[in-house]
Structure 1
Amino acid sequence: MRLTQLRSFYAVARMGSFTRAAEHLHVSQPTITTQVRFLEESYKVELFYRRGRRVQLTGMGEQLMQLAQQIFGLEAEAVHLLGDAGELRSGHLRVAAVGPYHVTKLLVDFNQHYPGIKVSVSTGNSQDVLDRLLDYRADVGVLAQLVHDDRLLSVPFSKHPVVICTSSTHRFARRRNIRMAELQGERFILREQGSTTRKALEQALDQAGIKPEVVMEIGSREVIREAVAQGIGIAAVSLVEYVPGPGLHMVRISDAEIHTYAHVLCLAERREMRMVSAFFDTIAPAPERKKAATSR
C-alpha cells in the first residue's frame, strides 16, 4: 500500500464522494477510483458501499478510516513541526562553552530574537567543547581561543583584557594599576596548561623578561579565587571572568596589552543550517560571517 492510495481513500471517506475527493486533491476522478479499487482488490476487502454518487464506509472502511486519521494527523503535526523549525518558532539549540561568562550575553541576544527556541548549555574545558561539536552533541561552541581546524568555522566576537587578582592584604591592594616590571618576584597561581589566560600572561611575561615563580597550578576558577584570597599568591584572570568578593582586589597592567579573545564555532559543514546560521547572525551580520568563513 502506498501513501497516495491511502490518501485517496481518506479523501473519499471524508468527502463522501469520489467526485468531491478528486476536487479536494486536485486530481481526476478516475485516478481516485483506481487507487481505492487497488486497495480493495489487493487486500480483497470492501471499503465502501457505493450508493449512486454517494458512498458509505463499510465496517472495514471505518476501521481503516480511524488509522488513516491518526496517520494524517501525525503527518500534519510533522509538517507543522518542520515549518516552525524552519521559521525558528520552535526547535532546540545545543551550546557548548568553556564557561558561563563568555556565553551569557550571546544567549540573551539569541533568546530576544528567537524566544521559541529552547537552548541548552553544557560547560567544560576547550577539548570538551571541541569533542561535542565534532560528534554532533553540540550545534555551536564558545571558546576563549582560536582553533585551527579546517573542519570548523570560527568567528571572534569579543576581546577581554587580562587583569591581576590579588588578596586585599597584598601590596597591590591599594593600587588600580601596576607595571609589568612590578610582577618580578611575585608568587603566581596559574591555571592548568592549555589555559588561554595562562598563555596570554606567559607570553607577556616572557616579552618583559620576567620569569614567574609558580607556586600552584589549579584548574578551577573558584579554587584559584580562594587561594588568592588566602594570600597564597596572585593570579591572572580575564576581566570578563573576574568576580569581586571579600578578600579580593583587582588591578590592571598599565604598560602591556594582554587580552583573551572569545570565539563562536560550529562544524563548517553545518554553518548554513538555519538555527546555527541564526545564532551566528546574532553576533555578526551575514556578510561578516561569510568573510570570516573564507579567511579560515
Structure 2
Amino acid sequence: MNIRHLTFRLLQVYVAVVRLGSVSRAAAQLHLTQPTVSQQLKRLAEAVGEPLLDSQEGRIRPTAVGTELYHAALDALSRFDDFNGFLQDARQGTRGGFSIGVVTTAKYILPRLLGPFNRRFPEVEVSISVGNRGYILERHRHQQDDLYLFSHPPAGEHTLSGRFIRNPLVLITPPDHWAVQTPPTDFSALLGERFLLREPGSATRLVFEEWLRNHNLQLKRVMQIESNEVVRMSVEQGLGLAVLSEHTLAEGEHRLGRPALPEFPLTSHWYLVCHNNRRLPYPAANFVRFINDNLASCIDSRYIHNDLARLLAHLHPPGKGA
C-alpha cells in the first residue's frame, strides 16, 4: 500500500460509507455527490491494492481487509481529533465531547452520573443514544459510540467492560396480590400466574430466563411488553406479575406489591463498555475516571460495586491524551 496516496478525506469518506452501509447516504451526510464518493472509494481501494467493500442484501459491508482499514481509519481520525481537542484545551480549558449508547433501563441511572460530571466539566458535550439492547448492540458492533452502558455486556476480544453498579432484579405484583400478604415459601408457587416479560434479547429477560432454567422452572402464562414503564403500569392494573430492575422503580410513587421471596432480588449489574481496539477520546476517558472517583457521591452506596480496573488500565494517564 502506498500510504502517500491516503488523505484524511479518503478515510472520512470510507468510514462514513462503512457506518451507513450506503454510498448515497454517506454522500448526503458528507454533502458530496454520489459519483464523488464512488471515485474516492475507488482511489482508496487502488491505494490499498485489495478489495475493501462488497454488497450483501442491499447493504455495503467491509471485506476482511476493509474491516482492518476501517479500524485503522477510526484510530487515525480519533488521534487527530484528540490532538485538536488538546489544542482547544490548551487555549480554553477542557472541551470536546463523546457519545454513549445506553440500554433503555439505564436511562434511570445515567442522569445521576452525567449531572455531576457536567457541573465539573461544563464544556464537554455528551451525545446519548437510548434504545433496547438489540439496538445498542448494533451500535456497538459498528463502533458508533465511544462508551456504552449495558446490564448484560457483549462479549468479544475487542470489548472491554467493567461493572460498577448493582442492578437488583425484583419481583413485583399488583398491590393486593395474595403473595404480598402471604408470601409463598418459594417461587414455584407463582408459576401459574401470568408474567409480563420484556422482548427477547432484553437483559432483564435474559437474566430472569437463565435463573428459571437453572432452577428447572417454566412459566405457564406470559405476555410480552416492550417497555419497562408499560410493564410497571400493567402490573399496577392487575395484568400480571413481572421482574424489573429496582432502579426502574426508584422514580416516583408506584402502587405495587413486593412479595418477600427468598430467591429475590436476582443478581445483575451495570457495566461500562468500550472497544479495546479503539482509543477513547479524552472527554470519554475523563468520564470513566470521574465515575471511578466520584461514584459514591452520585449513587446510593447500596448499589455500588465498582470494578472499573480493566477500563481504567486501558486509559492513558491524565494530561497525555486518550
> Residues 170-222 of structure 1, C-alpha deviation per residue, up to 9 Å, x if partnerless?
11344789732332322211111111111222222233333212330111112
- Equivalence for 1:288: 309
Deviation at 1:98, TM superposition (A): 0.6
- Equivalence for 1:91: 96
For 1:106, what is the secondary structure of its paired residue?
A: helix
Deviation at 1:284, TM superposition (A): 3.1
For 1:255, what is the secondary structure of its paired residue?
A: coil
User: For residues 178 and 94 of structure 1, do their structure 2 counterparts lie closer, same or farther at Cα, with a shift above 3 Å needed?
Assistant: farther
1:263 aligns with 2:271: yes
Structure 2 unmatched runs, 5+: 1-82, 294-306, 316-322
1:149 aligns with 2:156: yes
Deviation at 1:106, TM superposition (A): 2.5
- Equivalence for 1:39: none
TM-score (norm: length of structure 1)? 0.62
- Equivalence for 1:241: 248
For 1:253, what is the secondary structure of its paired residue?
A: coil
> Residues 42-66 of structure 1, C-alpha deviation per residue, up to 9 Å, x if partnerless?
xxxxxxxxxxxxxxxxxxxxxxxxx
Correspondences of 1:187-206 after superposition (within 5 Å):
187-206=194-213
- Equivalence for 1:179: 186
Letter in 2 for 1:154: S
For 2:99, what is the secondary structure of its paired residue?
A: strand
For 2:156, what is the secondary structure of its paired residue?
A: coil
User: For residues 88 and 259 of structure 1, do their structure 2 counterparts lie closer, same or farther at Cα, with a shift above 3 Å needed?
Assistant: farther
Deviation at 1:82, TM superposition (A): 4.1
- Equivalence for 2:56: none
Letter in 2 for 1:274: Y
Deviation at 1:246, TM superposition (A): 4.8
> Residues 111-168 of structure 1, C-alpha deviation per residue, up to 9 Å, x if partnerless?
2442221222220012322333444532211111121122322121112211111112
Q: Is the 8 A contact 1:189 1:217 kept in 2?
A: yes
Q: Is the 8 A contact 1:190 1:216 kept in 2?
A: yes
Q: Is the 8 A contact 1:109 1:282 kept in 2?
A: no
Deviation at 1:109, TM superposition (A): 4.1
Q: Is the 8 A contact 2:194 2:221 kept in 1?
A: yes
Choose between structure 1 and 2: higher strand proportion: 1
Letter in 1 for 2:97: H
Deviation at 1:226, TM superposition (A): 2.4
For 2:123, what is the secondary structure of its paired residue?
A: coil
Q: Is the 8 A contact 2:161 2:310 kept in 1?
A: no
Distance in 2 (CA, whole Å) between partners of 1:142 and 1:165 is 24
Q: Is the 8 A contact 1:162 1:258 kept in 2?
A: yes
> Which of 206, 223, 226 is residue 219 of structure 1 equivalent to?
226
Larger RCO: 1 or 2 (CA < 8 Å, sep 6+) = 2
Q: Is the 8 A contact 1:271 1:277 kept in 2?
A: no
Determine what percentage of the aligned residue pairs are the same residue: 27
Correspondences of 1:10-29 after superposition (within 5 Å):
none
Distance in 1 (CA, whole Å) between partners of 2:191 and 2:137 is 36
Q: Is the 8 A contact 2:147 2:272 kept in 1?
A: yes
TM-score (norm: length of structure 2)? 0.58
Structure 1 unmatched runs, 5+: 1-78
Q: Is the 8 A contact 1:98 1:129 kept in 2?
A: yes
Name the count of aligned residue pairs. Answer: 216
- Equivalence for 1:43: none
Deviation at 1:260, TM superposition (A): 1.9
For 2:243, what is the secondary structure of its paired residue?
A: strand
Q: Is the 8 A contact 1:153 1:271 kept in 2?
A: no
Distance in 1 (CA, whole Å) between partners of 2:209 and 2:143 is 34
Distance in 2 (CA, whole Å) between partners of 1:283 and 1:289 is 14
Distance in 1 (CA, whole Å) between partners of 2:244 and 2:260 is 10
User: For residues 175 and 107 of structure 1, do their structure 2 counterparts lie closer, same or farther at Cα, with a shift above 3 Å needed?
Assistant: farther
Letter in 2 for 1:209: N
Correspondences of 1:37-56 after superposition (within 5 Å):
none
